[in-house]
Amino acid sequence: MRKGKISEPVLRRTVLKYIDNSREDIVIGPGTGVDGAVMDLKGCYMVTSASAISGKFNDKAYFAINRALNNIAAMKAEPVGVAVSILANEEFEEKDLKQLSMRIQEVSRYFGVSILGGHTEVTGSVNDTVIFVTAIGRREKSVSKEKISDNAAIIVSGHVGTEGTAILAELKEKELLEYYCADLVRQAKRFKEKISVIPVSCALKRQDVYMHDISQGGILSALWDLGIKTGMGMDVDMRSIPIKQETVEICEFFDINPYELLSGGTMLIVTDDEEKTMEALDKRGVESKVIGHLTSGNDRLLKFGETTGYLNRPAADPILSFI
């Protein structure tokens, strides 16, 4: 199979097909376009989600924890804690473990969550350190449920490609500085400070909206997930998708599609009350734009000015070629 997140058809026929959530206390189980599971603990819901980070780039603890917490936030839950497991190769020394452990604690404190446990193992089965994070969140039963109908507005908060841009700017800083000014590269590296969607969740948890954390595969993968989840068509104006100039420049430099790039910090939102949702996001200082609407048909249209195309099956995230 190709590198990266498995494709939706493989997920459906090879994984989800064999999962049977027969317990009554499982409110939401795994599925396409679903960022976590929800359990009924009588007094409240417990929400869980898992994430893994591999590859050769810096600060994997930050990216791994943030990604798992973003999934919790997309489920309208308050993050509570994380369990972190580490697989390292034999070159990994105790001083490396100490540095990583300190960073995990620092990141957890930054996001206001506790470390609930984990596991650390040295193995010959990995070439570089792999970090697994299981996040736990708490969701009040009074929190609104998602509501999706045709003609609902599709909103993107944040800017697509942000996380991938930050990683590329750090990994390929020397190459980029040969072509771009230092300020552009410096700003791109700072994008990693903007990859949390927790503020979006806080703004919208009382609204009947659907939220999906845009991560691997970028906005095009998230739109595909939305189409599979709803069974509806969509009409999307690609020129309305918010994207930073730094992302455009760096993607052009490496000849990659910014709409397929890792987009942590960006949320896909579907709402029947566009005005109310945009107002709530604005009050929280969250930049967002309406990029299109769901439709009752099956066509998933992507419009570029006068040109109209169709949403295709997601490609592998281009970031995987670099890490």
pLDDT of residue 2: 63
The b/e string for 38-48 (b: 16+ C-beta within 10 A; e otherwise) is bbeeeebbbbb
Sign of the torsion angle spanned by Cα atoms 278, 282, 286, 291: positive
The radius of gyration of the chain from alpha carbons, rounded to an integer in Å, stands at 19
Among 189, 206, 90, 87, smallest CA distance to 144 is for: 206
pLDDT of residue 283: 94
Low-confidence ranges of the chain (pLDDT < 70): 1-6, 15, 18-23, 25, 35-36, 142-145
Set out the domains of the chain in order of their start, with CATH numbers: 8-139 (3.30.1330.10), 153-321 (3.90.650.10)
Distance CA 66, CA 192 (A): 10
pLDDT of residue 6: 60
At residue 221, what is the residue type?
S
pLDDT of residue 167: 95
pLDDT of residue 209: 93
pLDDT of residue 238: 96
Distance CA 66, CA 108 (A): 9
pLDDT of residue 18: 66
**Confidence (pTM):** 0.86
Among 302, 323, 217, 201, smallest CA distance to 262 is for: 217
